[in-house]
Amino acid sequence: PEPTADLRAVVDAELAGLPPKYRDVLVACDLDGRPRAEVAAAFGLAAGTLSSRLAEARKRLADRLRRRGVTAAGLA
């Protein structure tokens, strides 16, 4: 099922609250679906640096959403 407009607004707000170095790689990889190698090159990052930023971005976003009462089940 498609997330509601309210849920999308919460996710968008929490994404916007992430520091750019985390938000940008998360959007590029997870939302835009760009290949990691392409994203790493575009941001001038080593593959390992991209991986660690992406993992940290996902953790931070999950923490922010959890504080707002949003769970993974709510996003599915």
Q: Give the tens place of pLDDT for each residue, 17-40.
A: 999 999 999 999 999 999 999 999
Q: What's the confidence (pLDDT) of residue 2?
A: 57
To the nearest 10°, the Cα dihedral for 53, 55, 61, 67?
-130
Residue 16: Cβ within 10 Å count: 8
pTM equals 0.85
pLDDT in tens, 41-75: 999 999 999 999 999 999 999 999 999 888 766 56
Confidence label for 5 from pLDDT (cuts 50, 70 and 90):
confident
Pair 4, 32: CB distance under 8 Å: no
Pair 29, 39: CB distance under 8 Å: yes
Pair 65, 14: CB distance under 8 Å: yes
